[in-house]
Structure formats: C-alpha cells, structure tokens
C-alpha cells in the first residue's frame, strides 16, 4: 500500500473572541454520528512565553473543513500544579459513557509537562481524572498521546518524551482505554542521516486501511525541521515498513516562523485518508491522501 497526497486545504474555523485572535494548532478530528468533531489547542499570540497559555476548544463540522468552534474552552488551565500553565495537544477516545481526553498539562514554574487524562459524558463536561504518564526519568515531559486498540483487545498509548536532549517516541500498554499504563520503552528510533534523524513524535494510527494499519508520525533533523512520515504496523503493533522520505513537508517558512509540519489526527473516508496537521505552530490543514495498492 502506498500513500499519496492529492490535495491540501487550510481549515476554516468560525471563532468568537478570544479564540479568533489566537494561534490554533494540533487539530484532533474524528467522525461521530455523521458529523466531524474537533478539539484544537489554542495559544495566545504573545512574545512572552509565560503568557502563551494553551487551552483546548471544541468544534463541529459537516464536511471536515469548515468548523464552528465553541465559545469557550472545554479544557482550561486548572488550580492544581499539574496544568496550571497550559493544556496542550488533546487526543480523544470515544467510550460508551462519553469521552476520555488525553492531554498535556504544563507547569511553567517547574518547566514540566505531565500526560493527563480527563473524562466526561460530553465534551463540555470534562474533568481531570488522573495522571496517565508522569514526568519521570528517562520519560521526561510526556506528551502527544496516540491511543489505539489492537486486534487482540489490548490498548496502545504512543507518546513523545524528552531524553538526552531529544524528543523520543515511547510506548505504553494497558488492558483498558483509561489505563493504568505500563511503559514498554522506546517504540520507534531515529534514522541516521535521514530527515527523521533526531526528534520523533507519534501521530494518528488508522486500522483497516485496505487491511493494513498505518501510523503517521512526526520526525525532524537536529535543526528541528519537522516533517510527516508513516509506518505500517502488524496485528501486534510492531513496525513492518517505514517511509524513506517525508509524506508532507511544510511550505518554506517566513522569517521568525518555525519550519514545522506536525500531524495531529486522521480520519478514514472511503478509500481516502484525511490527515489533519499544523504548520509553523499556528496554521491548520487537511491533507487528502489516496491509498493505492503497490
């Protein structure tokens, strides 16, 4: 199976204040009951890092490109030390009684992130449930969760963590979608002298793409130039094939912008994949990808 980008479109988010004037990134999109729902990370447009406090808004769409956004955040910085300075990079697991939302809670004083899990019957009734993966050596500042169920019924949680001045891609497993999670170690390693030679971070996993399972992942070189690639996974979640070149490269960055394309979510629509991603840490897009047999 090969994956070919046939169209790229910028998302159109209908927002009220203050979301309208904020950076929007990490678009987490899924299909539910015939509509497309989204959680998106929103960040103040400030030059002061202490003022760039992230929170999470929700949205809804009929076509997966035009989203009507919530008036206020559905996850916001709390009163505990876990997420007092920001809530970042949401991932949704739909369960029979509502939603599990994995996200990163940020503590600016400690310069520390924890992978947290919120729970609620609706997206506007989410409450912090627990720490899914704490920040402990060697898995410091865990974030960017990608949660999927394997065909054997077990659950996988892939996550980014900091170790030896690099972003690495780790794996945890559980019998249940809400955990508890047992860390199994590093899942995917960097490739020397390649586009993904230094930093790695997980992206969305899609099962049953013409009988195959694919994960789109984020990788960069030592200059933090992030691109999006893919790996194929077997029934046990092990890698069987990996893209040699990036699938998506961002447009040339403007002065002062980050050189980044970063995958957040994917939806299988017929024989196509809609891949949602961010560029320059502020703009959101949908890539339409054709799945073709080799």
- Residues, the chain: 294
Alpha helices in the chain (DSSP H): none
What pairing do the DSSP bridges indicate for beta strands 12-14 and 66-69? parallel
Burial of 262 (0-12, 13-18, 19+ CB in 10 A): buried
Say what percent of the chain tops pLDDT 90: 85
Q: What average pLDDT does this structure show over 28-57?
A: 90
Distance CA 159, CA 286 (A): 22
Distance CA 233, CA 212 (A): 7
Distance CA 144, CA 158 (A): 8
> Residue 86 — pLDDT band, cuts 50, 70, 90?
very high
Spatial neighbors of 252 by CB under 8 A, at least 6 apart, are none
Distance CA 9, CA 152 (A): 36
| Location of structure tokens 């910028």 | 10
Q: What average pLDDT does this structure show over 151-158?
A: 91
Q: What is the pTM of this model?
A: 0.95
> In terms of Cα–Cα distance, which of 180, 219, 184 is closest to 200?
219
Q: What average pLDDT does this structure show over 145-159?
A: 93
Does 194 or 150 have the greater pLDDT score?
A: 194
pLDDT number for residue 253: 80
Work out the angle at residue 151's Cα, subtended by the Cα atoms of residues 148 and 155, and round it to the nearest 5 degrees: 35
The structural domain count of the chain equals 1
Quick: pLDDT tens for 209-252. Answer: 888 899 999 999 999 999 999 999 988 888 999 999 999 999 98
Residue 13: CATH number of its domain: 2.115.10.20
> In terms of Cα–Cα distance, which of 221, 225, 167 is closest to 196?
221
Segments forming the whole domain that contains residue 201:
2-292
Q: What average pLDDT does this structure show over 127-132?
A: 96
A 10 A CB-CB count for 107 gives 18
């Amino acid at each position: 199976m090969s994956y070919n980008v046939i169209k790229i479109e910028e998302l159109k988010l209908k927002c009220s204040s203050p979301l309208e004037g904020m950076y929007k990134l990490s678009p987490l999109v899924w299909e539910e009951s015939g509509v497309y729902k989204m959680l998106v990370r929103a960040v103040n447009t400030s030059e002061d890092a202490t003022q760039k406090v992230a929170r999470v808004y929700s949205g809804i769409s009929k076509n997966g490109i035009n989203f009507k956004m919530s008036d206020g955040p559905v996850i916001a910085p709390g009163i505990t030390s876990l997420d007092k300075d920001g809530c970042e990079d949401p991932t949704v697991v739909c369960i029979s009684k509502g939603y599990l939302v994995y996200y990163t809670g940020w503590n600016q004083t400690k310069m520390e992130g924890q992978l947290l899990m919120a729970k609620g019957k609706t997206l506007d009734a989410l409450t912090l449930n627990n720490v899914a993966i704490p920040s402990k050596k060697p898995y410091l500042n865990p974030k960017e969760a990608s949660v999927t169920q394997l065909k054997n019924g077990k659950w996988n949680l892939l996550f980014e963590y900091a170790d030896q001045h690099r972003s690495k891609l780790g794996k945890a497993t559980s019998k249940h979608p809400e955990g508890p999670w047992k860390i199994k170690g590093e899942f995917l390693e960097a490739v020397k002298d390649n586009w993904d030679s230094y930093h790695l971070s997980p992206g969305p996993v899609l099962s049953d793409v013409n009988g195959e399972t694919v994960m789109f992942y984020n990788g960069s070189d030592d200059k933090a130039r992030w691109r999006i690639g893919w790996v194929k996974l077997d029934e046990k979640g092990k890698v069987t094939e990996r893209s040699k070149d990036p699938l998506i490269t961002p447009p040339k960055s403007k002065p002062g912008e980050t050189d980044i394309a970063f995958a957040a979510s994917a939806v299988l629509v017929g024989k196509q994949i809609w891949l949602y991603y961010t560029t320059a840490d502020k703009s959101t897009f949908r890539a339409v990808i054709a799945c073709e047999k080799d």
